[in-house]
Amino acid sequence: MKGVGKFGEVLAGEKGKVSYDALAERLDKIIHSGSQKKAITDFVCRELRKIPHYSWVGIYEVQGGDLVLTSWSGPSATQHVRIPVGQGICGAAVTAKDTIVVPDVNADPRYLACFLNTASEIVVPVLKGGEAVAEIDIDSDQRNAFAAGDRRFLASVAEELATLL
């Protein structure tokens, strides 16, 4: 992939061309816009899903011992709107306070199935004062879809979201 700007990738796919840097700039603007929190997280999910290999995007917030789905964008709704922190890839990322990439969800016993088409997943925690307060959960229909560039890009989005959540 071509090296351009901070996050270094421009992808082309069925959703058209997407510049990670232009996207990061749009997300920064909206996150710091002062708009209502839910409107912002909805927007962030919609914008992230413009990246061709991001099939479903959700933001979960930590509430007590559960992860609660606050915003999502994708072809269909998930039944996992509340996930105990001890369960799933989602729970594992919060417990680890670190990004988890699962290249093949069918090979990971932690995986909580949502969509038939999901082949890989990335979960990026939003850390605040050393604690996970939320997370970005992304499913891809492609196996092994998430690379180092996605990790870096999404870690930076999570860092911005920490100022809001």
Which residues of the chain form contacts with ligand SME (CB under 6 A)? 58, 78, 80, 83, 88-90, 111-112, 114, 121, 137, 139
The answer to whether the beta carbons of residues 161 and 126 sit under 8 Å apart is yes
Nearest position to ligand SME, beta carbon: 88
Question: What end-to-end distance do the CA atoms of the chain give, in Å?
Answer: 33
Which C-beta is closer to ligand SME: that of 47 or that of 73? Answer: 73
Which C-beta is closer to ligand SME: that of 65 or that of 129? Answer: 65
What is the rounded distance in angstroms from the CA atom of residue 2 to the CA atom of residue 120? 23
DSSP letter at 19 equals E
Least distance (Å) from ligand SME to the CB of residue 83?
Answer: 6
From the CB of residue 41, how many other CB atoms can be counted at a distance below 10 Å?
Answer: 23
Helix (H) or strand (E) holding 39: helix 37-48
Which C-beta is closer to ligand SME: that of 27 or that of 90? Answer: 90
Least distance (Å) from ligand SME to the CB of residue 78?
Answer: 4
Which C-beta is closer to ligand SME: that of 24 or that of 101? Answer: 101
The answer to whether the beta carbons of residues 123 and 99 sit under 8 Å apart is yes
Least distance (Å) from ligand SME to the CB of residue 32?
Answer: 27
